[in-house]
Amino acid sequence: MSGVPRKTGFTLLEVMITLAILGMSLTAISRSQQNSVRAANRAKWITVATMLARYKMVEVEDTLFEEGFSDFDEEDKGDFKEEGFERFTYVVKIDKVELPASVNAESIGGALGLGGDDSDSKGSESRGSGMLQMGTQMLAKQFEMIRSVLEESIRRVQLKVEWKEGSQTRAVTVVGYFTDPRKIDAAASGRLTPAAGGGLTAPGSITGAGGANTGPTPSTGGAIR
């Protein structure tokens, strides 16, 4: 007697389980791909924003070199449409560096790690500590002149470049410091004279709308949000 041929194949349950596994795998792969594209896109915009920030910082440097330092804080806003990047905007803030109005020998000694008094030391250590404390006292007396020179010859520039990513606003922030070497040189040679408003001016240099020489120092900080 010949047997009846048996039909082979997948049951409905097996097909449904296979489709479920395939669907979850494709979903995971799709999410991973989307995250990769999003990360690459953000990296591209951060790179563009960083280059624009460098470009704008050089432009600010040239402006300060030509026009000199102002006695007042300044702020400027704009975009990069002329450069072909309409998505990006910037905010520039230029302000004076404010130092403490006064310091005392104790605070300077504390910053240098000179705790206690001379009676706690003996021999050469006591003499060395005493000389160092005398130096801090002299530095505290001269601090007012040093503070005025530094405040007049240094400007802090804060530059923020912003752009939109969907509904979120991203930003790259750069902070730099610019100096006027001629005022520092004049102070070293004792040629600074009082200016209107309590500042100091050097012969041959013009504050505010003048043409004081400036030079940038490396950026001291940057942040990406």
Q: Is residue 60 domain-resident?
A: yes
**Residue 219: what pLDDT?**
40
| Listed residue (68, 96, 92) closest to 214, CA to CA | 68
Query: Is the pTM of the predicted complex or chain greater than 0.85?
Result: no
| Listed residue (90, 88, 93, 211) closest to 155, CA to CA | 93
Q: Is residue 5 domain-resident?
A: no
**Residue 79: what pLDDT?**
93
Q: Is residue 22 domain-resident?
A: no
**Residue 163: what pLDDT?**
94
Q: Is residue 13 domain-resident?
A: no
Q: Which amino acid is at 192?
A: L
**Residue 92: what pLDDT?**
95
Q: Is residue 28 domain-resident?
A: no
**Residue 50: what pLDDT?**
94
Q: Is residue 174 domain-resident?
A: yes
User: Looking at the 3D structure of the chain, how many domains does it have?
Assistant: 1
| Listed residue (148, 139, 140, 138) closest to 192, CA to CA | 148
Q: Is residue 205 domain-resident?
A: yes
Domain that residue 150 falls in: 38-224
Length of the chain: 225
**Residue 180: what pLDDT?**
78
**Residue 49: what pLDDT?**
94
* Residue ranges of the chain whose pLDDT lies below 50: 1, 116, 118-122, 192, 194-220
**Residue 209: what pLDDT?**
32
Q: Is residue 26 domain-resident?
A: no
What token pair was written down for 89?
């905007």
